[in-house]
Chain A
Amino acid sequence: MPLVRKPANHSPGAKPDASEVLQLLASSSTDERWAAARAAADVVGGISAIAAALPTEHDSRVREAMFTSLARHATAESMDALIGLLRSDSANLRTGALDTLRILAGAAPGLLPRLLSDADADVRILSCELARSLPSAEATHLLCVLLAAEQEINVCAAAVDVLAEVGSSDALATLNECARRFGESPFIAFAIEIVIHRITSQSTPARA
């Protein structure tokens, strides 16, 4: 029979030590940077080293490994690094940071209120999307707080879009008020009308 059976254990190769891992984040070898990006999250100083290396990392796979490493630890340091990247000029970095923050949002209760009140409207727009992964009551509350005071119509539109999936009847008054405030915009009125229809057509309000 041409099928062969061999011992399953292969040598994974020598593991670099902590200081070596941090140095390898700046290696000229893509393989070494990839390995370092994967290992750095478990090394003291690794999160800040990844945060420093990410903006200049040109290989998309190494960047991906860096984001995954940040996603493994919901620490203030990793979140600060990711929030900083939300302001980046690079769409790749913004998207990568947003995807990673989405993973961390559930594990870091203070994260979303902070982002939704950021001075930068673009950060607020991106952050609305993070509410989608939260329980309905929590997401509805956070987005309603935002909608009640928000002056930027595009931020409101982003929040309304998320409420279409997660919103409960607790959002109805705020949505109506938002539609009234932006009465001159047919788009926002139409979007809110759809969300209200969705929420009111549910048999019982979702509370979880």
Chain B
Amino acid sequence: MPEFPALTEEEFRRLCEYLYRRSGMIFTEAKRYYVERRVHERMSATGSASFASYFACLRINARGENEHFINALTVNETYFYREKHQLRCLTTDLLAERIREKRKGEAIRIWSVPCSTGEEPFSVAMWLLENWPRVDDYEIEIVGSDIDTKVLEQANAGIFGKRSLMRLSPDLVERYFSPMPEERWMILDDLRHSVQFSAVNIVEPGDTRIHGHFDVIFCRNVLIYFDDASRRIAAENLYENLLPGGFICLGHTESMSRISPLFEVRRFADAIVYQRPAGGPD
């Protein structure tokens, strides 16, 4: 990577203001080194000779640079039990609220969208089996959806590499997976068959509506990449997909309040989530 000069104070401030406005991510001087390294990586990748020319390229989103830069900042990868605090929040707070309105044996529907290669919906399933004492009292339906049918094929196959399993204890790996050659593991058939996978484009109302209503939606690290119009449409679609009082969990750098006023913010001990108000349009 070529040597680039350090960002001036003004350049860093400009960049941080832009990032906040565009994505809601907040970076302070304490993160200067981290941000600067990513800027220099992207300047190198885009052939930008100066910060000014890179910033101009970022602002007009030349060749999808917004997505590349946000990817570099958020280190977006998927693995089992990622953002475990949200899973804790699911069992400690969210489901506790949802079951107040449900009789024993009723359905609880959970949607992971986008689900990529399946780590998230399978994590939800494992987490519930391991950590929610009421798991046997309800019919729990977990749906994983993604726009990319290739990743859905992988999700359906239920085969994962070492990196996907890095946050799971050896005990969990042993109980829920069977080892395969070349450091791969296959998730148990019972678990694999308990998650329904489907294709969806979340900015397409016709696509989202056929998935029905959910108690909890995990929609992490996708809205951040959309343009403003698509974000608003996606937020309205997801609103329709939630039951009144249902919850939506976003990625830790995302904020629904910056996208849409449709939801109420709920602050729990382990996570901030967004709730469809009990009243309001269906």
Contact present for B196 and A204 (CB under 8 Å): no
Roughly how many angstroms separate A71 CA and B230 CA in the complex, as a whole number?
10
B67 beta carbon closer than 8 Å to chain A: no
B262 beta carbon closer than 8 Å to chain A: yes
Contact present for A202 and B196 (CB under 8 Å): no
Specify the chain B residue showing the minimal Cβ separation from A102: B228
Stretch at the interface among B10-18, B24-32, B247-255: B10-18
Question: 0/1 per residue, A132-151, Cβ < 8 Å to B?
Answer: 10011000000000000000
B174 beta carbon closer than 8 Å to chain A: no
A62 beta carbon closer than 8 Å to chain B: yes
A206 beta carbon closer than 8 Å to chain B: yes
Specify the chain B residue showing the minimal Cβ separation from A72: B229
Question: 0/1 per residue, A43-73, Cβ < 8 Å to B?
Answer: 0000000000000000111101101100110
Q: Closest CB of chain A to B105's CB: distance in Å? A: 10
Specify the chain B residue showing the minimal Cβ separation from A29: B281
Roughly how many angstroms separate A12 CA and B52 CA in the complex, as a whole number?
49
Residue from B49, B50, B145, B206 having most chain A Cβ neighbours under 10 A: B50
Cβ-Cβ contact count across A and B, 8 Å cutoff: 141
For chain A, the bracket of interface size reads: 35 or more
**From residue 196 to 243 of chain B, which have CB atoms closer than 8 A to chain A?**
196, 198, 205-206, 209-213, 227-229, 232-233, 236, 239
Q: Closest CB of chain B to A61's CB: distance in Å? A: 5
Roughly how many angstroms separate A5 CA and B233 CA in the complex, as a whole number?
28
Contact present for A208 and B141 (CB under 8 Å): no
Q: Closest CB of chain A to B3's CB: distance in Å? A: 14
Cβ contact of A208, chosen from B56, B195, B196, B280, cutoff 8 A: B56
Roughly how many angstroms separate A198 CA and B10 CA in the complex, as a whole number?
6
Q: Closest CB of chain B to A75's CB: distance in Å? A: 14
Asked if A3 meets B232 with Cβ closer than 8 Å, knowing A9-B210, A64-B261, A202-B51, the reply is: no
Contact present for A202 and B262 (CB under 8 Å): no
Residue from A33, A136, A198, A208 having most chain B Cβ neighbours under 10 A: A208
Residue from B17, B55, B125 having most chain A Cβ neighbours under 10 A: B55
Contact present for A203 and B142 (CB under 8 Å): no
For chain B, the bracket of interface size reads: 35 or more
Asked if A5 meets B193 with Cβ closer than 8 Å, knowing A34-B281, A72-B229, A201-B10, the reply is: yes
B166 beta carbon closer than 8 Å to chain A: no
Cβ contact of B55, chosen from A38, A71, A201, A206, cutoff 8 A: A206
Specify the chain A residue showing the minimal Cβ separation from B199: A8
**From residue 116 to 160 of chain B, which have CB atoms closer than 8 A to chain A?**
125, 128-129, 135-143, 145
Roughly how many angstroms separate A102 CA and B137 CA in the complex, as a whole number?
49
Roughly how many angstroms separate A60 CA and B260 CA in the complex, as a whole number?
11
Roughly how many angstroms separate A166 CA and B56 CA in the complex, as a whole number?
9
Roughly how many angstroms separate A7 CA and B143 CA in the complex, as a whole number?
10
Asked if A2 meets B53 with Cβ closer than 8 Å, knowing A8-B210, A135-B59, A198-B10, the reply is: no
Q: Closest CB of chain A to B225's CB: distance in Å? A: 16
Roughly how many angstroms separate A87 CA and B57 CA in the complex, as a whole number?
34
* Other contacts beyond A8-B196, A207-B53: 18, CB < 8 A: A2-B139, A3-B140, A5-B196, A35-B281, A61-B239, A61-B280, A64-B262, A67-B232, A68-B229, A68-B236, A103-B227, A165-B17, A166-B59, A198-B13, A201-B8, A201-B10, A202-B50, A207-B56
The 10 closest A-B pairs by CB, nearest first: A34-B281, A10-B212, A208-B56, A3-B194, A12-B209, A206-B56, A204-B50, A201-B10, A8-B198, A206-B52
B interface residues (Cβ-Cβ under 8 A, vs A): 5, 8-11, 13-14, 17-18, 21, 49-53, 55-57, 59-60, 62, 107, 125, 128-129, 135-143, 145, 190-191, 193-196, 198, 205-206, 209-213, 227-229, 232-233, 236, 239, 260-262, 280-282
- Would you list 27 pairs from A and B whose C-beta atoms are within 8 A, ordered by A residue? A3-B125, A5-B141, A8-B196, A10-B211, A12-B209, A12-B210, A34-B281, A35-B282, A59-B280, A61-B239, A61-B280, A65-B281, A103-B228, A135-B59, A135-B60, A165-B14, A165-B17, A198-B13, A201-B11, A202-B50, A202-B51, A203-B8, A203-B50, A203-B52, A206-B53, A206-B55, A208-B60
A interface residues (Cβ-Cβ under 8 A, vs B): 1-13, 30-31, 33-35, 38, 59-62, 64-65, 67-68, 71-72, 99, 102-103, 132, 135-136, 165-166, 197-198, 201-208
